[in-house]
């Protein structure tokens, strides 16, 4: 591996631009290629960031010789390119969701294991300042034992071919973050509505956590990211509670019986902490440190498989009208 890590990005969409932004500006990485399906679009993206355009994965691997590849393609188009790259043995970071099918997820993870490939997924909400502070409060016993937790996340629709796009590609963040903050989810009961455009655009879940806590999730494509608290997380414990507002905007911590609260929000000169896109930069910091040290990814691709497993349980609950148990 060269001193500067040679990185290629697969995908030329909106969030894919965050990938090229990060890897083209870091002092320890060199952006050696961008891969896209449309030549003109790919050439424009590559030109804007001073790198080489490719429309073929194998050509990129041969000519660019990357040490690391990131995959940021349309949500339902992850499987084949990811599998191809894993079989080539290249270390990977993939965007969420991992895939939409559990058998495909298992195939990817098995291929990564077979080839000994570093395989990570971008659940960047974990790296928000408010979330990291909340995690420390919970770990240090600052709110006692969690008793209930709530996740709410809603905005404009991102239409795809799956009727469960909202659940699988967006609320995967909720599954991941609730388990990250509280405990593994052990059962799910689901309600969904398709009243707006025919897909299951809003979902409401009741969950049990290992250890006895309970929780709720409300995820919607019938809302707006313009609304305050488009994203809200609350964890209520035996001795207090905390609330995360809009992922990066604010964290409030309350002690039981105390009408005052401790509040964190980004200061005047701390622009980085209040910028949602910078949560990806923070993830990349941890990701590359782990990769260079020969450690496991800070968020392994198996976390994407876990979120999909929970989504599948929610779908089964909705289809059967019953609560569904989930293996840890």
Structure tokens belonging to residue 90: 């290249």
Residue 53 pLDDT > 90: yes
Of the pLDDT bands very low, low, confident and very high (cuts 50, 70, 90), residue 328 is confident
Query: What tens digit of pLDDT does each residue of 189-219 get?
Result: 999 999 999 999 999 999 999 999 999 999 9
Residues 6 or more apart whose Cβ sits within 8 Å of residue 280: 18, 19, 22, 122, 124, 127
Please work out, in degrees rounded to the nearest 5, the angle formed at the alpha carbon of residue 290 by the alpha carbons of 306 and 76.
40
List the beta bridge partners of residue 185: 209
Q: What is the DSSP string of 16-62?
A: HHHHHHHHHH-TTEEEEEEE-SSHHHHHHHHHHTT--EES-HHHHHH
Stated pTM of the model: 0.96
Sign of CA dihedral 204, 206, 209, 213: positive
The answer to whether the beta carbons of residues 307 and 299 sit under 8 Å apart is no
What pLDDT digit, counting tens, does each position of 72-86 carry?
999 999 999 999 999
Question: In the Cβ-directed half-sphere of 187, how many Cα atoms lie within 13 Å?
Answer: 10
Mean model confidence pLDDT for the chain: 97
């Amino acid at each position: 591996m060269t001193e500067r890590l040679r990185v290629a990005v697969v995908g030329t969409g909106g969030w894919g631009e965050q990938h090229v932004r990060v890897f083209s500006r870091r002092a320890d990485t060199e952006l050696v290629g961008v891969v896209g399906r449309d030549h003109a679009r790919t050439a424009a993206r590559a030109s804007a960031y001073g790198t080489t355009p490719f429309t073929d994965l194998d050509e990129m691997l041969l000519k660019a010789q990357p040490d690391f590849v990131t995959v940021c393609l349309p949500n339902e188009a992850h499987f084949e390119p990811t599998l191809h790259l894993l079989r080539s043995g290249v270390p990977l970071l993939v965007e969420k969701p991992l895939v939409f099918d559990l058998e495909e997820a298992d195939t990817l993870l098995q291929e990564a294991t077979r080839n000994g490939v570093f395989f990570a997924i971008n659940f960047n909400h974990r790296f928000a300042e408010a979330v990291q502070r909340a995690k420390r409060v919970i770990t240090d016993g600052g709110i006692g034992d969690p008793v209930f937790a709530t996740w709410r996340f809603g905005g404009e629709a991102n239409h795809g071919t799956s009727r469960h796009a909202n659940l699988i590609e967006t609320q995967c963040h909720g599954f991941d973050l609730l388990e990250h903050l509280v405990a593994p989810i052990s059962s799910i009961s689901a309600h969904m509505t398709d009243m707006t455009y025919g897909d299951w655009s809003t979902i409401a879940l009741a969950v049990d956590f290992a250890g006895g806590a309970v929780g709720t999730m409300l995820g919607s494509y019938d809302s707006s990211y313009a609304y305050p608290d488009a994203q809200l997380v609350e964890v209520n414990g035996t001795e207090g509670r905390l609330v995360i507002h809009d992922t990066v905007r604010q964290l409030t911590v309350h002690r039981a019986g105390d009408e005052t609260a401790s509040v964190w929000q980004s200061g005047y000169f701390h622009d980085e902490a209040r910028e949602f896109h910078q949560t990806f930069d923070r993830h990349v910091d941890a990701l590359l440190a782990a990769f260079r040290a020969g450690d496991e990814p800070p968020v392994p691709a198996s976390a994407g498989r876990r979120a999909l497993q929970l989504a599948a349980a929610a779908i089964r609950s909705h289809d059967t009208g019953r609560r569904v148990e989930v293996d840890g």
